[in-house]
Amino acid sequence: VFVSSMKLMSQSTEVSSATQVGREFLENTKRAGYANVTVGNFDGRGATPTAPNAVTLFPLAPYPKRDRYSLVVNATTYTATVKTVQVDVYFSTNSKISLVTLIHQ
């Protein structure tokens, strides 16, 4: 029981920390505004992360990584004046949290 409790506490800490990294990314994105969101997929995992857009510099920090957390960002056009930004924050190979926001023009 003790080992299971320790494992659960560790998982809870990872989820909480990954959520903070994802929130920071989305707050930075909202501050940058609609015009600076580049539609596309950006994968911060691995040895060679997808490079940010050369003009808009999207995705912004903490992309591609913060400490041991890797970010995968997917930005799409939702309507003519709204973009969807999803960030997946990986805290292990198969474990992640996902956050999504809408950015209005």
The type of residue at 70 is S
CA distances from 22 to 59, 64, 80, 99, 104 (A): 12, 11, 25, 7, 19
| pLDDT computed for residue 35 by the predictor | 97
Angle at 92 between CA 70 and CA 71, to 5 degrees: 15
Distance of CA 67 to the CA centre of its chain: 13
Average pLDDT score over residue span 21-43:
98
Banded pLDDT at 12 (limits 50, 70, 90): confident
